[in-house]
Structure 1
Amino acid sequence: MDVERVRRWIPGVAWANLVVQIGIIITGGAVRLTGSGLGCSTWPNCEPGQFTPQLRDATDFHGAIEFGNRALAAVVFVVALSLVVLLVVAGRKQPHRRRRGLEALAAGIAAGVLIQAVVGGMTVWFELHPALVGSHFLLSGVLVAASSYLLSRLREGDGPPRPLAAEGLGPVRTLVVVLMLVTAVLVVLGVIVTGAGPHSGDQDVGYRFAVDPVSVARVHAGAAWAFTATVIALLVLLHRARANVGAGAELTRARRRTWVLLAVTLAQGVVGYVQYFTGLPELLVGIHLFAAAVLIAAVTFTVTGLRVREPVPATETLQAA
């Protein structure tokens, strides 16, 4: 196999990995929004002694939706495993360019997909326990972040990370820490809001979390405003900074990624408020879920855009961190 062809495939497969990681969140949301969480009564089979769902009439669509989500999970694993194979093959054929850190990260993503499948099975076995349903989404969020980070690392060198070569970026590290913490809080609160509302995923039990949905939604909105303020503060800091000679491109990249993050944030906020004031229609809740996955990716790209990693000498074995 031509090693250069393998290397050309790696970025495309890495992007495909991110796309399917977000896609599984969308189909998982469809399972939840249609009340199809127990459309398949067992796992790994859909029904006892039967791998596929029983489709007798139009009322059996829950099984088809749940099985479709499981089928996509298999695709997600194949894509993740393909990325591992490509990275390992490229590294073994050219040891001086091997990136063991990326291989380990890709392997971790593939392992995470398998863990996700087990969590999905446990969710069925324990009849949609809210903690398992919530952790199912949170694990997908971690996999989206890891997949986005891997894409960023593919474009970087393997030298030690350094700050952007610009003046006036003193508080940037503090803002990055705040941004990541608020992102985690925002996502977790979103899981609680969904579990406390009418789209918990179970048609028989509408509200899986025993908390006041209005109160927790307001707390979630407060976290969203804190997140937005942090992104704006970061953007202002980047635009007030002055790049050193020859380092304008890296500052421009950081500004561009942060603008994209702000755009995604504002769009997500609009959808969130519209769905809240229109009675949580399923379509808008699904869009909000999709935007949450995109937001996680955008945060990851923004954070990795605030540092630079130079190539190491070609004579060294590449050890990506």
Structure 2
Amino acid sequence: MTTPATAPAPPPLLDRLRPRWTRPAIVANLVGQIVIVGTGGAVRLTGSGLGCSTWPQCEPGEFTPRFHEATSIHPFIEFGNRTITGVLGILAIAVALLVFTDRRRSSAYRWLGLAPLAGVAVQAVVGGITVLVDLHPAIVGGHLLISMALVAASTWLLVRAREGDAPPVPVVDTTTYALRWALAAATVVVLVLGVVVTGAGPHSGDEEVGYRFAVDPYATARVHAAAVWLFVAVLAVMLVRIVRSGVGGRPRSVGIVLLVITLAQGLVGYVQLFTGLPIALVNLHMVGAALLAAGVVSFSGTLRARDPLPDRALTAV
């Protein structure tokens, strides 16, 4: 008598979901990280930072704003931003589950999958601190810089998700490849100075709390502009070297897109300065900063290549 063959156990749920949903989850997380810069900017620019008087609740004993005749729009703007933070937290959990449990990939890639979740947790705490310290510009600025770091990490995760784990091989000359670090350093300087400029001006935190950085906002704005032009110079040198060396494809196209984003950011920056810092333009400038951070990371990722993902990682289980 023959024993009937035992049917193989089905693969775990995450293994079945991973091929189809990992990339969409990572993309959604990146989009969310950029969107929340815009909603956080709206909170700050409309003076809604204290729209909810406490944290994690909006009002003592209530998680949602109280609606009455004297209610302003501020609590709802702040509560809306907190709600988006919750959505972003769900996306970060999904990314962590799909990436960190992927045993086929390197440990460096898998640990990178936890960055969005860790960042959201840190941002939630920092967000609470900003309320408790009445929107001090140093804490508010730190809140924004952490978002920029999360945008960068989320972009790098997207870059790594579509390639294998072999050592990277530069596709450009040695000098151009080394200049990516100068471009990254210039990006950090530009973002930090942008935070200082904002913290020294009329949009430093909240309408009712007048904290400001004790620096001349116009002098700081000039230094910030100089840093941007330095960034443009480094990027231009890299692009010229790429074109002259005959390297085409993604390094050239992504670099040109980054240059367009940078020049658009510069235009918005100058216009907002000479038009009295209108809220819409300042918020657009903040979102542009997030796009700039994502662009720099994407461009850096095109300057080297790794082996492609194995077929089993690209097809559904």
Q: Are 1:141 and 1:296, in contact at CA under 8 Å, matched by a contact in 2?
A: yes
* CA distance in 2: counterparts of 1:207 and 1:284, whole angstroms: 22
Q: Are 1:179 and 1:230, in contact at CA under 8 Å, matched by a contact in 2?
A: yes
Aligned to 1:78: 90
How far is 1:173 from its partner? 3.2
Q: Are 2:159 and 2:301, in contact at CA under 8 Å, matched by a contact in 1?
A: yes
Deviations along 1:139-174, one digit per CA (max 9) or x if unpaired, are 00000000000000011110011111x5xx231133
Say if 2:103 is the partner of 1:103.
no
Aligned to 1:294: 291
* CA distance in 2: counterparts of 1:115 and 1:21, whole angstroms: 14
From 19, 23, 38, give the equivalent of 1:26: 38
Deviations along 1:234-275, one digit per CA (max 9) or x if unpaired, are 1101001135xxxxxxx4211111011001001111111111
Letter in 1 for 2:295: A
How far is 1:312 from its partner? 8.1
Say if 2:274 is the partner of 1:262.
no
TM-score (norm 2): 0.90
Residues 224, 182 of structure 1: alpha-carbon distance in 2 compared, 3 angstrom cutoff: same
Say if 2:310 is the partner of 1:306.
no
From 130, 143, 150, give the equivalent of 1:143: 150
Q: Spell out structure 1 runs of 4+ moving beyond 6 A.
A: 312-315
* CA distance in 1: counterparts of 2:302 and 2:308, whole angstroms: 16
Say if 2:129 is the partner of 1:132.
no
TM-score (norm 1): 0.89
**Tell me, what secondary structure is at the counterpart of 1:242?**
coil
Say if 2:233 is the partner of 1:224.
no
How far is 1:210 from its partner? 1.2
How far is 1:55 from its partner? 2.1
Letter in 2 for 1:81: I
Letter in 2 for 1:159: A
* CA distance in 1: counterparts of 2:257 and 2:188, whole angstroms: 19
Aligned to 2:276: 279
Aligned to 1:190: 194
* CA distance in 2: counterparts of 1:225 and 1:312, whole angstroms: 38
Letter in 1 for 2:111: A
* Bigger radius of gyration: 2
* CA distance in 2: counterparts of 1:115 and 1:182, whole angstroms: 25
Q: Are 1:163 and 1:307, in contact at CA under 8 Å, matched by a contact in 2?
A: yes
Identity %: 52
Letter in 2 for 1:117: A
* CA distance in 1: counterparts of 2:186 and 2:44, whole angstroms: 25
Alpha carbon RMSD of aligned pairs, Å? 2.0
Say if 2:20 is the partner of 1:8.
yes
Q: Are 1:157 and 1:311, in contact at CA under 8 Å, matched by a contact in 2?
A: yes
Letter in 1 for 2:216: D
Letter in 2 for 1:282: I
Letter in 1 for 2:148: G
* CA distance in 2: counterparts of 1:138 and 1:238, whole angstroms: 30
* CA distance in 1: counterparts of 2:253 and 2:91, whole angstroms: 29
How far is 1:133 from its partner? 0.6
* CA distance in 2: counterparts of 1:61 and 1:314, whole angstroms: 52
* CA distance in 1: counterparts of 2:60 and 2:273, whole angstroms: 39
Letter in 1 for 2:225: A
How far is 1:215 from its partner? 0.4
| Structure 2 unpaired stretches of 5+ | 1-12, 313-317
Deviations along 1:87-130, one digit per CA (max 9) or x if unpaired, are 245x2xxx4x2343332112122011101100000110111112
Aligned to 2:60: 48
